[in-house]
Structure 1
Amino acid sequence: MTIEDFQAGFGEEPGYLDYGRVGPLSRAVVEETTAFGLVLERARHGSMDAFGEQDARVRAAAAAVTRFPAEQIVFQPNATQGLMHAMFGLTGTVLLSPDEFPSLPIAAVRAQEALHVVQPAWLETDHGKVTPAGIRDQLEQNVAAVAVSLVDSRTGYLCDLEGIRQVIGDRLLIVDAIQGFGVVDAPWEAADIITTGGQKWCRAGWGTGVLALSERALDRLTPVFSGFTGTEESEPWGYVPPPADGASAYRVSNPDPIAEARFATALEEIDRVGVAEISRAIAERVSLVIELADEFAIPVSSSRDEQERAGIVVLSPPVEQVTLLTASLHNHGVTATTRLGSVRLSVHAATSPETLDMLRAAFVSYATAATY
């Protein structure tokens, strides 16, 4: 599959620059959803067996992208549930930044409050950047795990997983991968726990996600909220068996097979074209967006270094002009996220020249109004 074939599967209207919030469904995902919806509608004799095949399919697709064995991957309805499994399953101190997306610190604190076996240690960051040096300087002997975001949702910073692994030794490395999963060619082998959802950069819609666990994670985590499908028995009537010995222990109930089919379809496309190829296409478009911002003297607070960025560009105009920039984008049909005094643009592999023209027009309006 070529990058051009992949780009042809984008169907959103021009002006969409908000993949960090949600990615419009890919054409292949829409077609797969429709096909399985028709199967479920008709319920023809023998047709329902296809739903039972989707769990193995999505785990195989996730294995191809993450390079984790399929048997060490379990489907989740969202990234946050994967984080909850990780935090509630830990014993010891977990080092993380309080400025991560709320899913991560809240999961750590809820686990502490409920079980009293995990203790958050709050990492001081370099202007929101979680770096190997920062972790090294604050890594106490009692830290059992370090938790990070692959890409910071506010700063767009792409963390150095390999560098962090070198610093933390054999401690568990937990990665909230949802920002950038499927478009960042990350060294997943450095991680012990990867949790992600498919509704953003993978364009698979809500209700999709996976939790991938290394052998070390499987050995050290406890599957605290493991449901009846998390056992070795298909239907354990009359008694309560222990959790399964493996990643499947982290299942709470039967997964949504149509959601699994959606995510599998998206991941199969990503694997066919190659994450590295997608990443290169995004990098080119991110550079164009940064050049546009520079042309109109709009401060860019996210990193310009390709090694420290993914698909997010963060604009930080003067505080009194944030509303003006947001309004200019809105008036020219550009979809973006404004949060905490900055504007976040999320660029994907098929961001079109027409979208960049719309962004330029918005910047022209902003610059003109700001001048006067």
Structure 2
Amino acid sequence: MTTIEEFAAGFGEEPGYLDYGRVGPLSRAVRAEALGQYEALATSRFGTIDRMSAENGRVREAISALTGFSAEQISFQPNASSGLMHSAFGLTGGEVLLSAAEFPSVTYAAVRAAQAMHVVTPVWLETDHGRVTPAQLREQLTDSTTAVMVSLVDSRTGYLADIDGIRQVIGDRLLIVDAIQGFGISDVPYEVADVVVSGGQKWTRAGWGTGFLALSERAIEHLTPVFSGWVGSGPGERWDEVVDPAKDASAFTVSNADPVAEARFAAALEEVAAVGVAEISAAISDTVERVIDLADEFAVPVASSRNPAERAGIVVLEPLPEQLTVLAAALFNHGVTARMRPTSARLSVHAGTTEETLDMLRAAFTSYASAA
């Protein structure tokens, strides 16, 4: 078991970084894993390549430990968007209910599937400023609704969706969850979903080229593996014939994955499992509270939820339009890395966010308050 202090010591980025919602700098464990794997690939001693093929099983076991899905229900993906495309194109009819304010990976998957397959229709959910709640879904479900797509954490508002409550409302309809903004830091019941998709380049700090698609037994039964390559037909090479896709999550793969990427992701998730998602979530929540307190102290308007049950690691600041440029300049001038958008600034904290980073943020807020 790893302590939260030991986990935080694995953060190697420079002070001032508050943009994990965009990309998480590689953890020390991931960097060491990548260097070791590339060294092995560079020398390619006898048996090395065969050994690297075992990384697929390793990463699926690591994902299983954090999601509750069995390893056979999980396929490695190069990114979250690929998993969403597999899911949306695999729908076999009816209407899929989702918010138009979802991150484009979600909305594009639904629309492109409708345009290409002509079997499912996207229906746009009316929301409370982009927040998808069980109550809103209950009001807008119809008999034609066969699936619901939702982000676990909304990337613009930082809102943490109640996926357990959503499951209770939608019944036996397929629930497709894009978990990328909460995976590894939000202690939620993933097993209530039929499809869970995530990438590893954000909060798990595994780098680009990492992700997964986890499917319930019902999803495996109801989704069609439209993009199913030769590796999706079961173990072993397939020559001189084309056989049907496998009856598990491996059907939703096109080719062999990058074993170094799998190893990076596995190392990151093993590190998370060693300390525990609940402990990481608690540490992040405490730091989010401190960031909100700092914003209040300097009268920087907070647009994201103050309720710990409705947030993960994102704090959204939304000053008056004429003051947003002032805030952006203050953050930049004090070395704070944040995600600036047309109407807001998004700060993303992690369990490894340091006192020095919070001091830099305080200095930026001081400058903002003086200028504003």
| TM bracket, shorter-chain basis | over 0.9
Deviation at 1:238, TM superposition (A): 1.6
| SS at 2:326 equivalent | helix
2: distance between equivalents of 1:49 and 1:227?
A: 21
2:31 partner letter: V
| SS at 1:294 equivalent | helix
2:22 partner letter: R
CA deviation vs aligned residue, 1:173-195 (integer Å, no higher than 9, x gap): 00000001000001111111000
Other-structure match for 1:45: 46
Decide whether aligned partners of structure 1 residues 267 and 233 sit closer, same or farther in structure 2, where only a CA change above 3 A counts.
closer
How do 1:116-135 residues align onto structure 2 when only pairs under 5 Å count? 116-135=118-137
CA deviation vs aligned residue, 1:230-261 (integer Å, no higher than 9, x gap): 11252211221111111000011000000000
Match of 1:140 among 139, 142, 147: 142
How do 1:253-272 residues align onto structure 2 when only pairs under 5 Å count? 253-272=255-274
CA deviation vs aligned residue, 1:142-189 (integer Å, no higher than 9, x gap): 100000000000000000001000000010000000001000001111
1: distance between equivalents of 2:311 and 2:237?
A: 46
Match of 2:240 among 238, 241, 266: 238
| SS at 1:307 equivalent | helix
1: distance between equivalents of 2:112 and 2:53?
A: 34
Other-structure match for 1:161: 163
1:242 partner letter: D
| SS at 1:62 equivalent | helix
2: distance between equivalents of 1:28 and 1:328?
A: 33
2: distance between equivalents of 1:50 and 1:333?
A: 43
Where structure 2 has 5 or more consecutive residues not aligned to the other structure, the ranges are none
| Higher alpha-carbon deviation: 129-138 or 45-54 | 45-54
| 1:68 aligns to 2:69 (yes or no) | yes
| SS at 1:147 equivalent | strand
2: distance between equivalents of 1:325 and 1:46?
A: 55
2:332 partner letter: H
TM-score, scaled to structure 2: 0.99
2:5 partner letter: E
1: distance between equivalents of 2:328 and 2:13?
A: 20
1: distance between equivalents of 2:68 and 2:198?
A: 15
2: distance between equivalents of 1:148 and 1:73?
A: 19
Other-structure match for 1:218: 220
1: distance between equivalents of 2:201 and 2:45?
A: 30
Other-structure match for 2:37: 36
| 1:88 aligns to 2:89 (yes or no) | yes
1: distance between equivalents of 2:42 and 2:75?
A: 27
2: distance between equivalents of 1:255 and 1:41?
A: 18
2: distance between equivalents of 1:71 and 1:89?
A: 18
Other-structure match for 1:308: 310
2:66 partner letter: V
CA deviation vs aligned residue, 1:315-357 (integer Å, no higher than 9, x gap): 0000111111011100100000011310000000011110000
Match of 2:104 among 102, 106, 110: 102
Match of 1:202 among 201, 204, 207: 204
1: distance between equivalents of 2:342 and 2:83?
A: 27
Deviation at 1:48, TM superposition (A): 2.1
1: distance between equivalents of 2:318 and 2:47?
A: 57
| SS at 1:48 equivalent | helix
| SS at 1:196 equivalent | strand
Percent sequence identity over aligned pairs: 66
2: distance between equivalents of 1:232 and 1:257?
A: 18
2: distance between equivalents of 1:26 and 1:368?
A: 36
2: distance between equivalents of 1:235 and 1:49?
A: 14
Deviation at 1:50, TM superposition (A): 2.0
Other-structure match for 1:335: 337
Other-structure match for 2:286: 284
Other-structure match for 2:24: 23
1: distance between equivalents of 2:237 and 2:218?
A: 29
1: distance between equivalents of 2:257 and 2:247?
A: 19
Match of 2:179 among 174, 177, 180: 177
| SS at 2:48 equivalent | coil
Deviation at 1:367, TM superposition (A): 0.7
Other-structure match for 1:5: 6
1: distance between equivalents of 2:51 and 2:328?
A: 46
2: distance between equivalents of 1:249 and 1:340?
A: 41
Where structure 1 has 5 or more consecutive residues not aligned to the other structure, the ranges are none
